[in-house]
């Protein structure tokens, strides 16, 4: 998204220079040579911002009763985040899902905890995507009792496919429109004070907050020089910026950029555009579902810079791998790093393909998948 009119801006010349250096750093031989130049540009931008004083914290717009056509025109097409207040309040998932219900019905299903670089507050010491495999019931119990284990990006609705019926598929398809290639689902389940660090990703999504309270911080790509993501060829970007943390140790200039904030209550839905930076904190034990939109137009238009890097510079996974595992091998939960999408459930308004329960991945398949 572009910064809102009331948000602080960065001069185009310096912003363009940083963007060009960041793009060129994805050519491995150039990375170390360009780093000092990139750092110098970044620090000049940070100094300019600091002269304007502390940044502002602005609320994300909240609306009720938004029609799909109006949503697509005002928010989806422009890449503008919005909270659809109470839009899922009447859905079966909001009525029926709870920590107790999940433990009772599905407590023996096993999932892997994402511990991937930039997506968790601590990382697995051996560099694996996952820290451990855990039974669903044990995870739910520790979340309610103050534990720190957080089930992020989890294929819960692929492993327990009947849960998809508790979402309003007609609503989700209508909001995406005909240009979307389908919908993917990932669950986020954690206790109070669990946190996902600042990152962004190519696909836009509708985030359905089922139970609990979740606080979001959002930052436009306009401030990418301050966020200073590494040029490491991953399918997503992450930052050392500490938006939303309890104990911030900020990057130069980070305290001078303007940010957006949204607090989701049960039944709220947040629209997150492609490439918009975000971090989250659970204020209370929380269950939510990320409904990913496979929207090629948004991926290209919302950040041509990051699209170009994703298309030509990312290696982990490559774009061809993403397309293969997203569209061709839809029945396989193959995920190499961030963008190996879960199974597509809807495509061009077609009804979801019925399938039996899928077991949690294990062995070699598990190492390729991302929960």
Residue pair 333/155 in contact (Cβ under 8 Å)? The answer is yes
| pLDDT in the model for residue 353 | 39
Look at residue 3 and tell me if it is in a domain.
no
Supply the CATH number for residue 125's domain.
Answer: 2.60.120.650
**Is 7 inside any structural domain?**
no
The boundaries of the domain holding residue 94 are: 12-368
Q: Is 2 among the domain residues?
A: no
Positions of the chain with pLDDT lower than 70, given as ranges: 121-131, 242-250, 314-371
What is the rounded distance in angstroms from the CA atom of residue 245 to the CA atom of residue 150? 16
Model-level pTM? 0.85
Residue 265 belongs to some domain of the structure: yes
pLDDT of residue 328: 55
Task: Note whether residue 5 is domain-resident.
Answer: no
Yes or no: say if 335 and 366 are a contact pair by the CB < 8 Å rule: no
How much is the pLDDT for 146?
92
- DSSP character at residue 222: G
Please check whether residue 346 lies inside any domain of the structure: yes
Residue 32, exposed/middle/buried by CB under 10 A (0-12, 13-18, 19+)?
A: exposed
The count of domains in the chain is 1
Which pLDDT belongs to residue 48?
95
Q: What is the pLDDT of residue 245?
A: 55
Asked if residue 96 belongs to a domain, the reply is: yes
Q: Look at residue 6 and tell me if it is in a domain.
A: no
Nearest Cα to Cα of residue 289 among 212, 178, 347: 212
């Amino acid at each position: 998204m572009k910064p809102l009119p009331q948000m602080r801006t960065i001069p185009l010349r310096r912003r363009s220079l940083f963007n060009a250096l960041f793009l060129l750093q994805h050519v491995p031989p150039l990375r170390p040579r360009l780093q000092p130049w990139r750092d110098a540009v970044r620090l000049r931008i940070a100094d300019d911002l600091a002269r304007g004083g502390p940044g502002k914290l602005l609320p994300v717009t909240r609306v009720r009763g938004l029609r799909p056509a109006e949503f697509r025109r005002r928010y989806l097409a422009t890449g503008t985040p919005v909270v659809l207040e109470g839009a899922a309040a009447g859905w079966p998932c909001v009525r029926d899902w709870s920590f107790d219900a999940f433990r009772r019905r599905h407590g023996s299903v096993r999932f892997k905890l994402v511990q991937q670089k930039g997506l968790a507050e601590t990382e697995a010491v051996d560099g694996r995507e996952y820290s451990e495999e855990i039974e669903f019931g044990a995870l739910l119990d520790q979340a309610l009792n103050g534990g720190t284990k957080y089930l992020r990006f989890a294929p819960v609705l692929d492993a327990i496919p009947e849960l998809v019926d508790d979402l309003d598929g007609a609503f989700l398809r209508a909001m995406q429109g005909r240009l979307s290639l389908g919908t993917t689902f990932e669950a986020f389940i954690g206790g109070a004070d669990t946190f996902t660090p600042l990152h962004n990703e190519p696909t836009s999504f509708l985030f359905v907050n089922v139970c609990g309270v979740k606080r979001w911080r959002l930052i436009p790509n306009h401030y990418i020089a301050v966020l200073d993501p590494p040029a490491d060829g991953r399918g997503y970007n992450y930052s050392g910026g500490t938006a939303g943390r309890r104990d911030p140790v900020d990057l130069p200039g980070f305290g001078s950029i303007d940010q957006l904030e949204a607090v989701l209550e049960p039944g709220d839905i947040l629209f997150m555009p492609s490439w918009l930076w975000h971090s989250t904190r659970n204020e209370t034990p929380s269950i939510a579902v990320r409904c990913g939109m496979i929207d090629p137009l948004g991926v290209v238009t919302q950040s041509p810079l990051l699209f170009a890097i994703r298309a030509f510079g990312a290696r982990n996974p490559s774009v061809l791998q993403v397309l293969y595992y997203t569209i061709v091998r839809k029945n396989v939960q193959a995920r190499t790093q961030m963008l190996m999408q879960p199974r597509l459930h809807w495509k061009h308004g077609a009804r979801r393909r019925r399938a039996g329960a899928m077991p949690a991945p294990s062995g070699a398949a598990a190492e390729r998948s991302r929960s």
